[in-house]
Chains A and B, each alone.
Chain A
């Protein structure tokens, strides 16, 4: 069973995704802040990380940077799932090594799930 780490401070979203991903036969681990996210990424070595950018404790960009610097975590694909879309945000995330950048307001739930499945298949 593939494991997905979801780093997102909104518990509503954690629940929604938890339910839907479990139904799709994935295991989901949640982290409600950047620090916990980094720790779990190292200890659990998930197959995929879903990362929000506006996070308590450590900002999403910093988390992404540290993930890509860490020897054990650098190969885990990271999908950014956020509502931040200021000038240069997308470019910055892709430069730092994110696989995909999804703006929450622009995607339906099923579309996001499809992107997750696709990323896990590759």
Chain B
């Protein structure tokens, strides 16, 4: 290890930022704090020992010995955490690289399919159109997964872009409902939206909030088994916007509820009905809502449906 590397190791704030950790979760910072506490404890014990014990040298030696051992153990623990953190960072970076590499061929593929379907280079038969549609749908699924993975890696490396601006949240929701109209109709689901009147504009990142509501709406429709209803509310509560989306779908089993916002988690009952889904949507939604200074939660009963809610600060 040369001097430069040692100096880089000493720059704790930079190290923590690299892992995307806050100070109180960062191994290097915790190690420093632990060192300070051990140091203070040693000095205090030494001071007490020299005043009250008949053979202060022996006591001091013991204190010194014990602190050294503690320090070594603390160092070993910190190092192993550091390795874990490094592995985690590398995993996020790996996801980011792979997703970027996958994105280009996927958009090339989609454009070629679109070109073929457009009939620009000759008329295509009905049967061919059917198969092109299958290609296009599968391509879209891969593109969505790749986009989700990229968002996750950005969340984990604290690189999620957040461009705040004023916009009308109600309009964004209406736009999304319109986009989901076909999917809802095909799933026999009626989507109702009841916004409170004269709501103020919101100051946030519209493309990120779009992801959140898109995920919640998609889940609500997707997990209704036969036919059903989705009710969306938007109102002002205290100093927050309050958004609620209620469905009468399959619901989340009680034992799965505590894991629902975890990355890659998919509830068992859902996997029986729906094979599609990456288990990333709610993880992403939570991260974005929290970054916006809001909260997200739900209540759900298996077989009866789920209600997801979120709050976002008014200003």
Contact = CB atoms under 8 A, between A and B. Distances in A.
B236 interface: no
Contacts of A108: 110-111, 114
A60 B204 CA distance: 31
Contacts of A62: none
Nearest to A82: B104
Interface stretch (A15-23, A35-43, A92-100, A114-122): A15-23
Contacts of B110: 108-109
B131 interface: no
Given A83-B100, A105-B106, A105-B143, A12 B112 contact: yes
A16 B115 CA distance: 8
A16 B106 contact: no
A83 B8 CA distance: 33
Given A10-B108, A105-B107, 8 more contacts: A10-B104, A13-B111, A19-B115, A20-B115, A83-B103, A83-B107, A87-B159, A104-B107
Contact of A12 (B108, B147, B159, B161): B108
A20 to B, nearest CB: 6
A109 B115 contact: yes
B121 interface: yes
A109 B111 CA distance: 5
Interface residues of A, number: 18
A110 B118 contact: yes
A110 B111 CA distance: 9
Given A20-B120, A87-B161, A105 B103 contact: yes
A16 B112 CA distance: 7
Contacts of A85: 161
A52 B244 CA distance: 41
14 contacts: A12-B112, A13-B111, A16-B112, A16-B115, A83-B107, A86-B159, A88-B161, A104-B103, A105-B103, A105-B106, A105-B107, A108-B110, A108-B111, A108-B114
A83 B102 CA distance: 10
Interface in B114-165: 114-115, 118, 120-121, 143, 146-147, 159, 161
Given A16-B108, A83-B100, A83-B103, A105 B115 contact: no
Given A23-B120, A105-B143, A105-B147, A83 B104 contact: yes
Contacts of B103: 83, 104-105
Interface of A: 10, 12-13, 16, 19-20, 23, 83-88, 104-105, 108-110
B104 A104 contact: yes
Interface string B80-109: 000000000000000000001001101110
A106 to B, nearest CB: 9
Nearest to A13: B108
Contacts of A10: 104, 108
A75 B143 CA distance: 35
Nearest to A23: B120
A23 B121 CA distance: 9
B109 to A, nearest CB: 9
